[in-house]
């Protein structure tokens, strides 16, 4: 019996009881309905419309477009060399960004999960990049890689990382590192915040018991901290993979996919197709392919996690 | 953690490593922002003549003054403030109601609604650009602040709902049950008893949504074009293509864009860690 149905038990008259009971049964839907209405009208309906575009010739500024084209867009995507290139770049961009964001974020969370003088202020300052709007992170890092106004290329040259202090964003072989570094800078705090929250929910007595039993810090980390963090790590890694793969802002602001498409990822390519070429049909077809790939990834991760949980 | 079993020398090494690593993180996090500010206060002629120096030989507020007087940025700033403020208020209200219903009731269809919300977090929002543009145009909602508020609210409600739900989960059910036994309706109990306890959560959600709306670029870039509706991110991009060499003004405008988001962030980050500890990220 839930609290909601208990409510109807008070009134004396029977008619009142049923109508109140009916109303209290509706109560949870009443609270949730604005959210549902909004999600359906602003996200689900456009999603369906977008899926419909994938089989139509929708080009803005072309009054004769709109006809049914079947799977022609998908066939074009299949043969589109730029799309293949973007898919490869998406993989590279996502894996590298995620790897560094995660390990540096975990390290930061472990550093902050202690009491020490100055902790509050240091925590606010190291988390600050997360507050910087993504477009501004992108612009800021684009400026940082510019040797005319920033010392960064000169430092990289001094340390022998660059053969001369040039702007890596204009070098097709290195340009992807620009958005990746910006993304790492921007994303470390997110991992640090969520992992710190998880670390703080581990009861301290467990560590005390372990250190009385003579466990070293490394042993404590491996046998207490990591298992406790595992569920958080799994869910944040999954959500962040999808989020980073979709995240076009930094790339659009910093390089616009260039030079020579060397930084074009799938979601920035979709944006280019929709926006610059105004070909909504083709853009929607690429988006649908990306959607299927990401869903397949999410489902397989959930499946793997389930079967691992079942084994243990 | 366990430092008591160590010798003094080991502890000194421990703490120097600890602070040393934190110093590296601090440098990485803050240097780009420091540089943004440094270029913004450097007089334009010195920027190129002095080469790259850690601090210019003289500083000026002229870049800020020019951004505020010679450009449309004050208008963009107001537009962004209206859009982000309205989005934050409406999203938090809607998310609080939905989060409350997830936290307190078991009902038919609830699991499906939650799955729907999770899925919206997974699909590429960029795929909604074209359909939303086509839907909003006949409604007269393109090139309007209202259109942006509607879209941003929908995008932010799912995460805000999960955040609010975790805050509600942290409040014992007995509290409102006791208030209901004392003769309040559930809604009355919600307003009088639960709402004040959730204030930190509401603050965190407001701040989170505000910063997200303040940062949004792609949809704003597509949906608005007239100065009355252009938001700060879009303004900053167009400004750069117009004055592609004036780094000082760019940095000044960029620094201004940072201020509201940073203020909100400082106010909420403590509650954000708290709210996530309460359960939002524990899959």
User: How much is the pLDDT for B122?
Assistant: 75
Give the pLDDT mean for B97-116: 90
**Which A positions 70-99 lie with beta carbon below 8 A of chain B?**
none
Classify B232 as helix, strand or coil: helix
Binned at pLDDT 50, 70 and 90, residue B242 comes out as low
Percent with pLDDT over 90 in chain B? 24
Give the pLDDT mean for B35-53: 84
A246-279 pLDDT tens trace: 888 899 889 888 788 889 999 899 888 887 778 8
* Closest chain A C-alpha to B32 CA, distance in angstroms: 7
User: How much is the pLDDT for B57?
Assistant: 84
User: How much is the pLDDT for B281?
Assistant: 45
Q: Is the pLDDT of residue A243 over 90?
A: no
Q: What angle do CA A38, A41, A44 make, to 5 degrees?
A: 105
Q: Which residues of B touch A239 (CB under 8 A)?
A: 121-122
B258 touches chain A (CB under 8 A): yes
Give the pLDDT mean for A49-61: 83
* Closest chain B C-alpha to A274 CA, distance in angstroms: 7
Of A34, A231, A242, the CB nearest to B282: A231
Q: Name the residue in chain A with its Cα closest to that of B282.
A: A232
Q: Is the pLDDT of residue A9 over 50?
A: no
B178-215 pLDDT tens trace: 888 887 787 888 888 888 888 888 988 898 899 889 98
User: What's the whole-model pTM score?
Assistant: 0.86
Give the pLDDT mean for B101-119: 88
Percent with pLDDT over 70 in chain B? 92
Binned at pLDDT 50, 70 and 90, residue B280 comes out as very low
Considering only A92-101, A180-189, B166-175, which range has the smallest mean pLDDT? B166-175
User: How much is the pLDDT for B241?
Assistant: 66
CA-CA-CA-CA dihedral for B163, B169, B175, B179, to nearest 10: 60
Give the side-chain half-sphere CA count within 13 A for B266. 9
**Which A positions 132-171 lie with beta carbon below 8 A of chain B?**
132-136, 139-141, 143-144, 148-151, 154
Q: Rounded to whole angstroms, how far apart are CA atoms B30 and B194?
A: 39
Give the pLDDT mean for B138-142: 88
| Interface contacts (A, B; CB < 8 Å) | 292
Q: Which residues of A touch B186 (CB under 8 A)?
A: 3-4, 7, 24, 27
Q: Which residues of A touch B94 (CB under 8 A)?
A: 34-35, 38
Q: Rounded to whole angstroms, how far apart are CA atoms A268 and B126?
A: 8
Percent with pLDDT over 90 in chain A? 27
C-alpha to C-alpha distances, B17 to A212, B22, B71, nearest whole angstrom: 25, 8, 48
Q: What is the ipTM of this complex?
A: 0.84
Give the pLDDT mean for A137-165: 89
Interface test with A, best of B123, B137, B183, B187 (most A CBs within 10 A): B123
Mean pLDDT of chain A: 85
A107-118 pLDDT tens trace: 999 999 888 888
Give the pLDDT mean for A177-204: 90
Structure tokens at B32: 């780009």
Mean pLDDT of chain B: 84
A77-86 pLDDT tens trace: 898 899 999 9
**Of A52-61, A102-111, B45-54, which has the strongest mean pLDDT?**
A102-111
Give the pLDDT mean for A204-229: 86
Pairwise pLDDT comparison (A188 vs A274), residue with the higher score: A188
Own/partner long-range contacts of A273-276 (Cβ < 8 Å, ≥24 apart): A274/B126, A274/B129, A274/B130, A274/B222, A275/B129, A275/B221, A275/B222
User: How much is the pLDDT for B268?
Assistant: 77
**Which A positions 196-255 lie with beta carbon below 8 A of chain B?**
196-198, 200-201, 207-208, 211, 217, 220, 231-232, 234-236, 239, 242, 245-246, 248-249, 252-253
Largest CA distance in chain A: 88
Pairwise pLDDT comparison (A3 vs B103), residue with the higher score: B103
Helix (H) or strand (E) segment spanning residue A223: none
Provide CB contacts within 8 A for A267, sequence distance 6+. Answer: A90, A245, A246, A247, A248, A290, B124, B126
């Amino acid at each position: 019996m839930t609290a909601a149905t208990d409510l109807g038990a008070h009134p004396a008259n029977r008619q009142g009881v049923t109508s109140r009971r009916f109303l209290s049964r509706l109560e949870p839907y009443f609270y949730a309905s604005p959210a549902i209405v909004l999600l359906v009208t602003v996200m689900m309906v456009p999603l369906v419309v977008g899926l419909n575009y994938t089989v139509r010739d929708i080009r803005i500024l072309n009054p004769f477009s709109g006809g049914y084209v079947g799977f022609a867009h998908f066939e074009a995507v299949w043969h589109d060399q730029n799309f293949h290139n973007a898919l490869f770049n998406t993989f590279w961009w996502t894996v590298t960004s995620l790897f560094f964001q995660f390990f540096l974020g975990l390290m930061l969370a472990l550093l902050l999960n202690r009491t020490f003088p100055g902790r509050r202020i240091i925590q606010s300052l190291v988390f600050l990049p997360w507050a910087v709007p993504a477009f501004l992170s992108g612009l800021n890092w684009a400026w940082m890689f510019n040797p005319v106004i920033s010392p960064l290329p000169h430092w990289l040259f001094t340390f022998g990382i660059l053969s001369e202090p040039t702007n890596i964003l204009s070098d097709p072989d290195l340009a992807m590192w620009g958005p990746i570094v910006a993304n790492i800078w921007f994303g470390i705090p997110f991992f640090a915040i969520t992992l710190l929250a998880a670390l703080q929910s581990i009861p301290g007595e467990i560590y005390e018991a372990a250190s009385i039993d003579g466990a070293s810090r490394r042993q404590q980390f491996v046998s207490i901290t990591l298992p406790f963090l595992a569920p958080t790590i799994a869910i944040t890694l999954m959500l962040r993979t999808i989020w980073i793969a979709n995240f076009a802002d930094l790339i659009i602001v910093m390089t616009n996919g260039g030079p020579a498409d060397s930084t074009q990822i799938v979601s920035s390519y979709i944006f280019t197709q929709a926006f610059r070429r105004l070909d909504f049909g083709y853009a929607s077809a690429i988006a649908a392919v990306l959607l299927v790939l990401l869903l397949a990834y999410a489902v397989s991760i959930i499946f793997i996690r389930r079967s691992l949980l079942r084994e243990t | 953690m366990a430092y008591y079993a160590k010798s003094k020398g080991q502890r000194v090494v421990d703490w120097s490593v600890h602070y040393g690593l934190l110093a590296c993180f601090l440098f990485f996090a803050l240097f780009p922002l420091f540089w943004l500010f440094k270029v913004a206060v450097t007089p334009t002629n010195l920027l190129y003549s002095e080469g790259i120096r850690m601090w210019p030989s003289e500083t000026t507020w002229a870049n800020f003054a020019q951004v505020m007087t010679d450009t449309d940025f004050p208008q963009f700033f107001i537009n962004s403030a209206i859009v982000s403020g309205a989005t934050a208020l409406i999203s938090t209200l809607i998310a609080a109601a939905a989060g409350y219903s997830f936290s307190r009731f078991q009902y038919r269809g609830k699991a499906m609604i939650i799955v729907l919300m999770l899925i919206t977090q997974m699909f590429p929002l960029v795929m909604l650009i074209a359909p939303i543009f086509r839907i909003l145009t006949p409604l007269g909602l393109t090139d309007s602040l209202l259109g942006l508020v509607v879209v941003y609210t929908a995008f932010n409600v799912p995460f805000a709902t999960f955040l609010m739900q975790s805050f509600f989960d942290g409040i014992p059910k007995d509290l409102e049950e006791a208030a209901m036994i004392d003769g309040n309706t559930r809604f009355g109990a919600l307003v009088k008893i639960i709402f004040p306890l959730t204030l930190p959560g509401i603050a965190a959600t407001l701040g989170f949504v505000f910063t997200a709306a303040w940062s949004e670029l792609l949809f704003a870039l597509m949906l608005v074009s007239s100065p009355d509706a252009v938001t700060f991110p879009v303004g900053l991009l167009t400004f750069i293509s117009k004055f592609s060499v004036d780094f000082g003004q760019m940095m000044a405008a960029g620094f201004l864009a940072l201020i509201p988001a940073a203020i909100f962030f400082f106010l909420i980050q403590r509650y954000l860690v708290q709210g996530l500890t309460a359960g939002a990220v524990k899959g």
